[in-house]
Structure 1
Amino acid sequence: MRDKTMYVKRSYSDKIFDSVNVAVMIFLLIIFVWPLWFVVIASVSNPNEVWNGNVLLVPKDFTLMAYEELMKYKMIWTGYRNTIFYTVVGTFVNLVMTICAAYPLSRKDFMPRNFFMFLFMLTMYFSGGLIPTYLVVNKVGLVNSPWAMIIPGACSIYNVIITRTYFINSIPSTLQDAAELDGANSFQYLMQVVLPLSKPIIAVIALYYAVGHWNDFYTALIYINKQEYMPLQSFLRDILMSNKMTLNDMQGLDAAAAEARMRLAQTLKYSVIIVSTVPVLCIYPFIQKYFVKGVMIGSVKG
């Protein structure tokens, strides 16, 4: 005979509360998921159907016309190559700089840590401005160089603070004493003890940096003029701008051709969104377990 204590009688108010929660969650799910789903189905639907508002839940008149038009731009592959380079190399440089800054600031035996922390935080509220920054980047020869996408933003103070907090709250000081008894120096302790225990925060910070590099077009807009160094986002922006109809463009086309181009440009926007976001979405599942742990830093202590 089963233990009756395993069954908890739920009151009528509890059932109402659960029903309302489920309804609210479903409503929020629709609000957040449907726009993403619409972008996907609109990118593979006939431009005429999208223009007329007939695409709501499923693709209409399936076609890859927008992607075929997008692939006509050969420089898009150059943009992919550059963006992958900026994302991989830039994220590596960011992680090295962030860890090298956060680890000393987390050490209690590093006496000037409060002074340097004050200087670091000061830069979060005050900066030199765009023109002085450009002059510095130009003076050191980074303009029209791929390193202009990496070096000026090599370290985020916000991420340094997060990483420092993790080191302080999640790495027991007794581990350092044990490592020193075994003859480990500070560098060995960092590489062999601290970093292996810091996979959650490293994964979270890497994701922040990688997404920032992948979506960055503003830096290229300021420092890069050569096409061979432009990131993917810059090329996608140019594609959208070149397909935008103006009065001058319409002068050489008849009404039917101009309307067809306008409809294709509308659908092309959705294919551009898919091309630029799918690679990042494919990376997230592999670091999801670390991301969940990392975002809970400081929420539970014990």
Structure 2
Amino acid sequence: MRIRHSRGERTFDIVNVLLMLLACAAIILPVLHVAAGSLSSTNALIHMRVKLWPVEWNFDNYKLVINNSIFWRSFRNTLFVVIVGTAINMLLTILTAYPLSKRGFRGRKLFLLLIVFTIIFQAPIVPVYIIVKSFLLINTLWALIIPAALNAFNLLICMTFFRSLPEEMFEAARVDGMDEMRILWKIAVPLSLPIMVTLILFYAVGNWNNYYLALLYVTKPALKTMQLYLYTMIAQFSMNETDGAAAAIAERSADISPQGLQMATVLVATIPILLVYPFIQKHFVKGALIGSIKE
């Protein structure tokens, strides 16, 4: 039986579809323009003939990016921050969220109040910088990991998911002689796979795009991450500096433009995240929905 919708419901659906199409276009069109520019010739870019499709195909930009040792060094630094940082993020989140999910945990309300306080009121930049400097973390990759080791919002999501698990199952495990750590890693975490994948994605993307902390704590060229490398390249080209590494790379070929090299670098730096997301999309959507529901 076909369900009839009122005029108001049909209008609401049409407006929603149009808004979603506009949102998708606002996201996809700039990406297509960057991809087209990275594959277009210098002449086409200079004369602004590139829109959403490459003009006079040119792969020299990608050849230079792939053969650039500075790019791969920053890529390795970012990969280290993502892998190690995400592992520490998840470990601290799980170990903190599990006890806070138990209503009988002594001091639970105080800890939750302190966590919510950090969401509302963020620490100023200068005191945080002084603390990081006092621990001798300046110009180390650990300065990009330790200050952002635990995200309060992700912690609350994980805690909410743990609370949704049946307490009777944990009681049965305790009767069988399992301690809390074994219950956490043998029962709670495996049953929380959707929310775990969601949080891993949140943390990994955040660490991959971590530009602010890198700009604040890292000055050595050998420790620059991918986002800081992109910023340096764009800033050098924008100021027409020919003595920088990025400008030197562009001068190796007559058919290389600063804009094309920037676009190619941005796309290569974005590909890893784009390749990972489709494989975890199912768990991501499920975890985001379940983790956002409060009892």
Range with greater deviation from structure 2 (72-81 or 101-110): 72-81
Would the alpha carbon gap of residues 27 and 219 (structure 1) be closer, same or farther in structure 2, given more than 3 Å must change? closer
- Aligned-partner residue type, residue 90 of structure 2: L
CA distance in 2, matches of 1:224, 1:121: 30
Would the alpha carbon gap of residues 67 and 243 (structure 1) be closer, same or farther in structure 2, given more than 3 Å must change? farther
**Number of the residue aligned with 1:187:** 181
Give me the identity figure in percent: 35
Range with greater deviation from structure 2 (222-231 or 291-300): 291-300
**Number of the residue aligned with 1:112:** 107
Give the C-alpha shift of residue 298 in structure 1. 5.8
Matching residue within 32, 35, 48 for 2:30: 35
Quick check: 1:223 aligned with 2:217?
yes
Q: What's the CA shift string for 1:134-177, capped at 9, x where partnerless?
A: 11111111112221111111101111111111111x31111111
**Number of the residue aligned with 1:164:** 159
**Tell me, which stretches of 5 or more residues in structure 1 are unaligned?**
1-5, 250-257
Give the C-alpha shift of residue 180 in structure 1. 1.3
Q: 1:36-55 residue pairs with structure 2 within 5 A?
A: 36-55=31-50
Matching residue within 257, 277, 282 for 1:284: 277
**Number of the residue aligned with 1:294:** 287
Superposition misfits of 4+ residues, deviation over 4 angstroms: 9-14, 16-28, 260-263, 298-302
Give the C-alpha shift of residue 124 in structure 1. 2.0
**Number of the residue aligned with 2:248:** none
CA distance in 1, matches of 2:264, 2:126: 35
Would the alpha carbon gap of residues 69 and 280 (structure 1) be closer, same or farther in structure 2, given more than 3 Å must change? same
CA contact (8 A) 1:245 1:262 kept: no
Would the alpha carbon gap of residues 12 and 43 (structure 1) be closer, same or farther in structure 2, given more than 3 Å must change? same
CA distance in 2, matches of 1:200, 1:87: 20
**Number of the residue aligned with 1:121:** 116
CA distance in 2, matches of 1:115, 1:21: 42
Would the alpha carbon gap of residues 22 and 240 (structure 1) be closer, same or farther in structure 2, given more than 3 Å must change? closer
Matching residue within 190, 198, 206 for 1:196: 190
Give the C-alpha shift of residue 98 in structure 1. 0.8
Give the C-alpha shift of residue 226 in structure 1. 1.8
**Number of the residue aligned with 2:266:** 273
CA contact (8 A) 2:230 2:265 kept: yes
Give the C-alpha shift of residue 74 in structure 1. 2.0
Matching residue within 130, 137, 141 for 2:132: 137
CA contact (8 A) 1:240 1:268 kept: no
Q: What's the CA shift string for 1:94-138, capped at 9, x where partnerless?
A: 000111111111011202100111112212233441111111111
CA distance in 1, matches of 2:37, 2:214: 29
Would the alpha carbon gap of residues 152 and 28 (structure 1) be closer, same or farther in structure 2, given more than 3 Å must change? closer
CA distance in 1, matches of 2:118, 2:38: 42
Give the C-alpha shift of residue 223 in structure 1. 1.4
Q: TM-score, normalised by structure 2?
A: 0.85
CA distance in 1, matches of 2:5, 2:68: 63
Quick check: 1:148 aligned with 2:143?
yes
Give the C-alpha shift of residue 78 in structure 1. 0.8
**Number of the residue aligned with 1:253:** none
Would the alpha carbon gap of residues 299 and 203 (structure 1) be closer, same or farther in structure 2, given more than 3 Å must change? closer
Would the alpha carbon gap of residues 261 and 233 (structure 1) be closer, same or farther in structure 2, given more than 3 Å must change? farther
- Aligned-partner residue type, residue 192 of structure 2: S
CA distance in 2, matches of 1:57, 1:148: 39
**Number of the residue aligned with 1:93:** 88
CA contact (8 A) 2:230 2:262 kept: no
CA distance in 2, matches of 1:133, 1:97: 20
Q: 1:12-23 residue pairs with structure 2 within 5 A?
A: none
CA distance in 2, matches of 1:175, 1:121: 29
CA contact (8 A) 2:89 2:149 kept: yes
CA distance in 2, matches of 1:130, 1:263: 39
Q: SS where residue 295 of structure 1 aligns?
A: helix
**Number of paired residues?**
286
CA contact (8 A) 2:61 2:256 kept: no
Give the C-alpha shift of residue 301 in structure 1. 8.2
**Tell me, which stretches of 5 or more residues in structure 2 are unaligned?**
243-250
Give the C-alpha shift of residue 23 in structure 1. 6.0
Would the alpha carbon gap of residues 219 and 245 (structure 1) be closer, same or farther in structure 2, given more than 3 Å must change? closer
- Report the aligned-residue RMSD: 3.0
- Aligned-partner residue type, residue 42 of structure 2: P
